[in-house]
Amino acid sequence: MGCGERLFGILFITALRVSFSLQGQTRMIKTPHLFFITLIWWVWSGPSIGLAEGEREFSRHREVMVAAQIVDRGITDTHVIRALKKVPRHLFVPEPYRDAAYTDRPLPIGEGQTISQPYIVAVMTEALRLRPGDRVLEIGTGSGYQAAVLAEIVKDVYSIEIVASLGRRAAETLKDLGYTNIHTKIGDGYKGWPQQAPFDAVIVTCAPEKIPPALIEQLKEGGRMMIPVGRAGGIQQLVRGVKRGGRLETEVLMLVRFVPMVAD
């Protein structure tokens, strides 16, 4: 409840009292009663103010983030823009970083891992050329943010995380937010998710030195892959692949720096 609504409530109680006075029925609501009602209203309406105001503030920051960091930098896919405007990124980062959730950078999410910069999330998602009926495999659930962005656009998202504590926390966040089309699993992404293959698109948010063959196998013919490739701790190439004739045709989109893809 905002300050406006809270004050409105108090004005309403006062108006009620005035109206009873005008009808000569002041005895029905005596001054001590009025004081008591007002006090209860004030206390009851108080705690939710900070919360609602906070959410509105985050929502404003999200709008500014999408305008300045996403649209102004050339992202045009309306599905991607809509998803980034909707997903509450601040709920995917640990409490101490919440205020920085809409800034132009990656943020720590614990266990030495990071949530990608919003712009990189947008670039990778747009380059997957997603369609509403698609089934997408993500390697590196991390905070779950990228999975949520994908889930706003496609039918089903399958996401694998190797660090159990991160995978569990992400699954909880996604459940709390009501996503029912994201399927998470703790495991080694090098092997993909053969039981759910083939996929229309694969997105890898940690960097292997070479593209894992299982991920190419599990991609449909005509399917798209986004994956950073290169040495751990160094600069990597963000590769876009399309599967044609059973093999992956690749192009390098830009240079990036992701956390390494580790093996079990």
3-state secondary structure of 193: coil
Closest-CA residue to 137 (of 87, 184, 207): 184
Q: Which amino acid is at 258?
A: F
Residue closer to ligand SAH by CB (options 77, 188) is 188
Minimum distance, C-beta of residue 258 to ligand SAH, in the bound complex (Å): 7
The DSSP annotation for 89-121 comes to: GGGGS-GGGGGGTTSSS-EEEETTEEEPPHHHH
Strand locations in the chain (E): 107-110, 113-115, 135-139, 156-161, 182-186, 199-204, 219-229, 236-244, 247-256
| Least spacing, CB of residue 118 vs ligand SAH, in Å | 10
What separation, in Å, do the N-terminal and C-terminal C-alpha atoms of the chain show?
A: 48
Handedness of CA 87, 89, 90, 93 (dihedral sign): positive
Residue number with CB closer to ligand SAH (187 or 198): 187
Least distance (Å) between residue 21 CB and ligand SAH: 59
**Contacts to ligand SAH by CB under 6 A:** 109, 113-116, 139-140, 142-143, 145-146, 160-163, 166, 188-190, 205-206, 259, 261-262
In eight-state DSSP terms, residue 9 is: H
Residue number with CB closer to ligand SAH (225 or 261): 261
Helices in 66-94 by DSSP H: which ranges?
78-86
- Give yes or no: 116 in active site: yes
Please pick, among 45, 116, 143, 159, the residue that the annotation labels catalytic.
116
**What is the nearest approach in angstroms of ligand SAH to the Cβ of residue 115?**
4
Query: Of 157 and 248, which has the nearer Cβ to ligand SAH?
Result: 157
**Is the CB of 17 or the CB of 138 nearer to ligand SAH?**
138
- Measured CA to CA, the distance from residue 210 to residue 91 in angstroms comes to 33
Distance in Å, CB of 55 to ligand SAH, minimum? 21
Residues catalogued as catalytic = 116
